[in-house]
Homo-oligomer: A and B are copies of this chain.
């Protein structure tokens, strides 16, 4: 059976950091370093999430990405569709009309409505999408939060604050005096 790409995994992990970061804007480089993944790879994912209205980008030294909506309002389905694009599970080629007995002229009954095989695949796809639509970023953040010690979100925010300050200081040093 087919797979989702690694982009979905990387994207969702980093969106969960945006939940922890609360309203602090983070660059895709901040997020990549926090998560221990390739910054150039992540830099291709976040514009897709922005385009889909899942994150919001601000510019400037302290700029970066924030969630565009409350995490309770962001479903896994939206995230997956934003990153992968909406490709069907099964790409029906409508070969039912090609039966040799039809001699190149398939009758209306043979090609009318949805192909019965395609219909099964559409139902299977709907089951999967319904499950993804019912899961939110907030729900998964809570599930991760239950495993972590109480100090963990503070450790993360301290790491991020230190990093954002360092970024600001580096820019100041680089600026003409």
Give the number of chain A interface residues (Cβ < 8 Å): 65
Interface residues of A in 120-145 (CB under 8 A from B): 120-121, 123-132, 135, 140, 143-144
Are A99 and B36 in touch, CB under 8 angstroms? yes
- Tally of this chain's copies: 2
Measured in the bound complex, the distance between the Cα atoms of B144 and A113 in whole Å is 11
Complex interface bits, A56-78 against B, C-beta within 8 A gives 1, otherwise 0? 00000000000000000000100
Contacts of A6 in B (CB 8 A): 91, 93
A101-B159, A127-B128, A143-B116 given as contacts; is B89 within 8 A of A2 (CB)? Answer: yes
Are B131 and A130 in touch, CB under 8 angstroms? no
Contacts of A117 in B (CB 8 A): 9, 12-13, 16, 140
Measured in the bound complex, the distance between the Cα atoms of B123 and A91 in whole Å is 23
Residues in chain A within 8 A of chain B (CB atoms): 1-6, 8-10, 12-13, 16, 33-37, 76, 80-81, 84, 86-93, 95-96, 98-101, 109-110, 112-113, 116-117, 119-121, 123-132, 135, 140, 143-144, 147-149, 152, 155-156, 159
